[in-house]
Amino acid sequence: MIGAAGCGSQFSVDYTPVPAERSKAWTVQSVKVAVPEELTVSDMNVLIPDADIVWHSDGPGDRRAQVADVLKDGIELGARGLGGPVPVIVEAELVRFHALTPYAFQVAPPGTGVESVRFKVVVRDARTRKTLLAEGFISADGRAVAAKDGGFRGPQERTRIVSRIATVTRGWLGLGEDVRQSFRRLGR
């Protein structure tokens, strides 16, 4: 048995919301994602690798670049509703990107597992580079959908995580529902 009922770690969707009247003045001109070199990366196919970046669904390749693309796509999608007169640059710095390994996807009991995506974010005026929104922290953790939950890996997993990041981004920017919550799940 992988875990007992009631056990697990605390996860969350959390952010400090940007007042809608403020963010609606913005149009996102670009999203820049940094992945610090000090973040650890694991390609180990074990239940819960001890690393900052765990991602297998894009296949072999540069994991830092792959997760940067997922995060960028999610933020861009979430910010699409902005159309104000001030062009902005959203700068995100990845703190953690932890998805299921292929092994965990296959063996995780129903209702367990987590996809943990956390990042810092700053908003700057694209013309002046002036900081419009000081650094904040966004946690976009979500419940994983493993094989026993009817889930799929690969492009569908990527699409699901991009969509979650977009939903959290919309909530953060005041464009959508406030989706902040916490939950317990077997995972890291």
Q: Is there a domain that residue 116 lies in?
A: yes
Q: Is there a domain that residue 118 lies in?
A: yes
Looking at the 3D structure of the chain, how many domains does it have?
Answer: 1
pTM reported for the whole predicted model: 0.93
Domain span including residue 122: 10-185
Instruction: Give 1's pLDDT tier (boundaries 50, 70, 90).
Output: very low
pLDDT value of position 55? 97
pLDDT value of position 96? 98
pLDDT value of position 6? 44
The residue type found at 149 is D
Q: Rounded CA gap, 96 and 40, in Å? A: 9
Q: Is there a domain that residue 4 lies in?
A: no
Instruction: Give 7's pLDDT tier (boundaries 50, 70, 90).
Output: low
Q: Is there a domain that residue 106 lies in?
A: yes
pLDDT value of position 15? 98
Write the pLDDT tens digit of every residue in 91-133. 999 999 999 999 999 999 888 889 999 999 999 999 999 999 9
Quick one: which H or E segment has residue 132?
strand 131-140
- Residue closest to 35 by CA, chosen among 89, 75, 91, 94: 94
The residue type found at 2 is I
Q: Is there a domain that residue 1 lies in?
A: no
What's the whole-number mean pLDDT along residues 30-39? 98
Write the pLDDT tens digit of every residue in 41-63. 999 999 999 999 999 999 899 99
Q: Is there a domain that residue 32 lies in?
A: yes
Mean pLDDT over each residue of the chain, to the nearest integer: 93
Q: Is there a domain that residue 94 lies in?
A: yes
Q: Is there a domain that residue 161 lies in?
A: yes
pLDDT value of position 111? 85
pLDDT value of position 134? 97
Please enumerate in sequence order all residues whose Cβ is within 8 A of that of 43, keeping only pairs 6 or more positions apart, or say none.
56, 63
Q: What's the CATH code of the domain at 76?
A: 3.40.50
